[in-house]
Structure 1
């Protein structure tokens, strides 16, 4: 029996390989790609954490992530990029800023309380101009190296493929496991088994919150903004890589900022993105004929 035009399109657009294989290929390739970046940084490039090395690594991560998602989306999923949640124009800017605010607002409140109560002291050995310059530098580096590539892969590609086959709340948990495996593997390979539990908990918790924001907002840009705010603040205050910052207690700083933000970001996101939210019904990823 001959197929109708719509049926032929649906059949022709059917993914070439099963969902689990597609996700495993992309996540596994990302692990290999990021390990290659680390190897190049330690063997072929200068030692240390120079700006040039950081910038090269960032560009490589961006290229690898875009190539992985573009290739997998076209060859394995046979679906358009437009359904991943990457809107354009002012909508993207709005979602990115809202995502950043959903982390920055509670973190700022928590940090303010900790400093005012005397639980935490922070000293910055730099002028205002130098501090602003470093913040802008970190925004660019984190966006290119971590926030955009990782969110594109996990809250973009992986999450969207999962929601086509399962309830979105379950997709949030599954992509969180994938992200935790990705991040923890990189840290264990480069730093040793001593960081296993700490990083596993951190990456899983981070991915759950980011996944919920992805569901609430319907936008990958929102999670990019959230991820960007988190990483910039942590690197600015705890790494002292480009700016001399003294924090009296790393633990108190993490509790007052990251933990508070992790616990409240999804609630804030719910106020920033008002509208219906689908937590229970799979969302078919339909390919439209060209």
Structure 2
């Protein structure tokens, strides 16, 4: 089908990302005074829009099984998600700590906003996971990675999806100012896409990519740092995300002994 061809698949993924992002507008701008359950409903709606788009795409346009998006429900999925969260949180905290050490950032207490802690926690989770991590990774590291993997090798798919995901952020507003910061923001988003793709490739599960993406925003939201020089913080995030992605790809899994492997043979 034409929607499975690389160029069209990437363009449609970009379009689907904007559609899901539009549906998340309510979750992103609702005032903090709204009841928490309304914020949860708004975030869940965003995730459901992404799921609906992928289901329609795979069922009616490319006729591929849902299993290709690698989002099975199991205890292993929980482990993969936690692995991704841990890698992303370590990367972001390392970057922000380094920036604070060179006076490029300053730590910001969560209580400084005057918002109840429960509201902060729920709102951060909604934005990090339901609005951004889950729907975007379902589209990019789930559906698109599966479609491109039918034509290209894993390395090429990882490179293409990372660059395309980064270029998507040309229209994102991350408080950047000037051409230099906009370029660094795109490069940082590419590094985030690389770390997410590495998690998907390493584990075979899109839940690991959701964990990396969600963990990135959770760490930023729950351990915030106010940048004095945004360019330095963006560069630091880029470096640590790339290091985290490379660690996922290069660290070898433990192997069983030869006697165990022989005993498993029929």
**Aligned partner (choices 196, 199, 207) of residue 221 of structure 1:** 207
Structure with bigger gyration radius: 1
Listed one character per residue, the Cα deviations across residues 45-74 of structure 1 (whole Å, up to 9, x for unaligned) are 9x9552458656533421221111111111
1:159-238 equivalence runs, <5 A: 159-187=145-173, 196-238=182-224
Cα drift, residue 156 of structure 1:
0.4
Listed one character per residue, the Cα deviations across residues 176-221 of structure 1 (whole Å, up to 9, x for unaligned) are 2332343323549xx9996753443232222122212211221111
Asked if 1:30 corresponds to 2:17, the answer is yes
Cα drift, residue 263 of structure 1:
3.0
Cα distance in 2 for residues equivalent to 1:265 and 1:115: 20
* Structure 1 contact 85–218 (Cα < 8 Å) conserved: yes
Cα distance in 2 for residues equivalent to 1:167 and 1:271: 17
> 220-229 vs 266-275, which deviates more?
266-275
- 1:261 matched to which residue of 2? 240
Cα distance in 2 for residues equivalent to 1:64 and 1:230: 22
Q: 3-state DSSP class of the match of 2:111?
A: coil
Asked if 1:70 corresponds to 2:66, the answer is no
Cα drift, residue 110 of structure 1:
4.6
* Structure 2 contact 93–219 (Cα < 8 Å) conserved: no
Cα distance in 2 for residues equivalent to 1:135 and 1:57: 15
Cα distance in 1 for residues equivalent to 2:144 and 2:137: 9
CA 1:28 to 1:273, structure 2 compared with 1: closer, same or farther past 3 Å?
A: farther
Listed one character per residue, the Cα deviations across residues 247-283 of structure 1 (whole Å, up to 9, x for unaligned) are 363548836962343132124324777279xxxxxxx
* Structure 1 contact 61–145 (Cα < 8 Å) conserved: yes
Cα distance in 1 for residues equivalent to 2:29 and 2:153: 44
Asked if 1:158 corresponds to 2:144, the answer is yes
- Structure 1 unaligned runs (5+)? 1-14, 239-245, 277-290
- Structure 2 unaligned runs (5+)? 256-266
Cα distance in 1 for residues equivalent to 2:147 and 2:59: 13
How large is the Cα RMSD of the aligned pairs? 3.8
Q: How many residues align?
A: 246
Cα distance in 1 for residues equivalent to 2:96 and 2:184: 22
- 1:50 matched to which residue of 2? 31
TM-score by length of 1: 0.68
TM-score by length of 2: 0.74
1:122-161 equivalence runs, <5 A: 122-124=107-109, 126=111, 131=117, 134-161=120-147
Cα drift, residue 137 of structure 1:
3.9
Asked if 1:97 corresponds to 2:82, the answer is yes
Q: 3-state DSSP class of the match of 1:157?
A: helix
- 1:274 matched to which residue of 2? 253
Cα distance in 1 for residues equivalent to 2:234 and 2:185: 16
Cα distance in 2 for residues equivalent to 1:187 and 1:251: 13
* Structure 1 contact 103–226 (Cα < 8 Å) conserved: yes
* Structure 1 contact 30–64 (Cα < 8 Å) conserved: no
